[in-house]
Amino acid sequence: MNTISPRVLLLRGMLAGLLAGAAAFLVAYLIGESKVDAAIAIEEAGAALGGHDHGDEPPVSRALQATAGLGTGVLLYGVALGGIAALVFCFALGRIGRFGPRATAALVTGALFVTVTLVPFFKYPANPPAVGDPDTAARRTALYLLMIALSVLLAAGALILGRRLAPGLGNWNASIVASLAFVVAVGLSYALLPGINEVPADFPAALIWQFRLASLAIQATLWAAFGLAFGFLAERAIAPAAAPKEAVQPTS
């Protein structure tokens, strides 16, 4: 077991998150912003037909939102997630099997992508502008955050279950049982938590799905880029720390 400082890995996790945020920003700008513009156009057309006046121009232009605003938000998001993932990596390294830094980083990244992104997404998928009642925004946000918290807790419970079953069932069978238990628990959470369907009847269904797929692609890019970058940086940090111990040989 290496004795590298968690601070070193935390800094590398934040750097990897910054790089992943840059990759996610490119994907968001190239395939996501066109969907946002289309949704805004539908919203403005509906407001014009209804005789509603939006008044003055917004304080931040749409062009600035789609470039500097989007980039700043995605980069900060990537740095924050990178720091959190690095701390999870510090705990997982050496505790989930005989995996090296890159393999551990890949497993941690995949687990976080499933629990933090996929599970909440399938219950409360992202919606473009003009979809959703502004009066229920706080409730929708609370439910989404609750789904994330439940997903993380259920994943932790499944991990504990798998480790306790491993001595009797073996690692492979215990992992299968724990995974099935996680899926069942997530399904029950889906059934118990209230659903949200505020999509207008006349809103193009194709645009909604294109926006949701673009959102999922952005998240997948973020986590994949982070896993690759952090695995490389973590291995470079850990290998030199372990090398001096291996280099010292007893003299006869």
Considering the domain architecture, whether residues 174 and 78 belong to the same structural domain is answered as no
Considering the domain architecture, whether residues 27 and 85 belong to the same structural domain is answered as yes
Considering the domain architecture, whether residues 28 and 142 belong to the same structural domain is answered as no
Considering the domain architecture, whether residues 70 and 89 belong to the same structural domain is answered as yes
Considering the domain architecture, whether residues 160 and 230 belong to the same structural domain is answered as no
- Tell me the pLDDT tens digit for each residue of 224-233: 999 999 999 9
Q: Does pLDDT of 57 surpass 70?
A: no
Decide if 9 is inside a domain. Answer: yes
Considering the domain architecture, whether residues 67 and 28 belong to the same structural domain is answered as yes
Decide if 216 is inside a domain. Answer: yes
Q: What is the pLDDT of residue 75?
A: 94
Considering the domain architecture, whether residues 7 and 127 belong to the same structural domain is answered as yes
> Contact at 8 Å (CB) between 9 and 99?
no
Q: What is the pLDDT of residue 204?
A: 81
Considering the domain architecture, whether residues 15 and 38 belong to the same structural domain is answered as yes
Q: Does pLDDT of 79 surpass 90?
A: yes
Decide if 209 is inside a domain. Answer: yes
Considering the domain architecture, whether residues 167 and 235 belong to the same structural domain is answered as no
For 221, the domain range is: 1-49+63-131+200-241
Considering the domain architecture, whether residues 140 and 182 belong to the same structural domain is answered as yes
> Contact at 8 Å (CB) between 37 and 129?
no
Distance CA 209, CA 214 (A): 8
Number of domains the chain is built from: 2
Distance CA 11, CA 176 (A): 34
Decide if 180 is inside a domain. Answer: yes
In this structure, of 28-32, 131-135, 154-158, the range with the lowest mean pLDDT score is 131-135
Q: Does pLDDT of 59 surpass 90?
A: no
Q: What is the pLDDT of residue 98?
A: 76
What is the 3-state composition of the chain as percent helix, strand, coil, each rounded to the nearest 5? Answer: 80, 0, 20
Decide if 127 is inside a domain. Answer: yes
> Contact at 8 Å (CB) between 125 and 211?
no
Decide if 251 is inside a domain. Answer: no
Tell whether pTM > 0.85. no
Considering the domain architecture, whether residues 190 and 206 belong to the same structural domain is answered as no
Distance CA 167, CA 31 (A): 48
Distance CA 61, CA 57 (A): 8
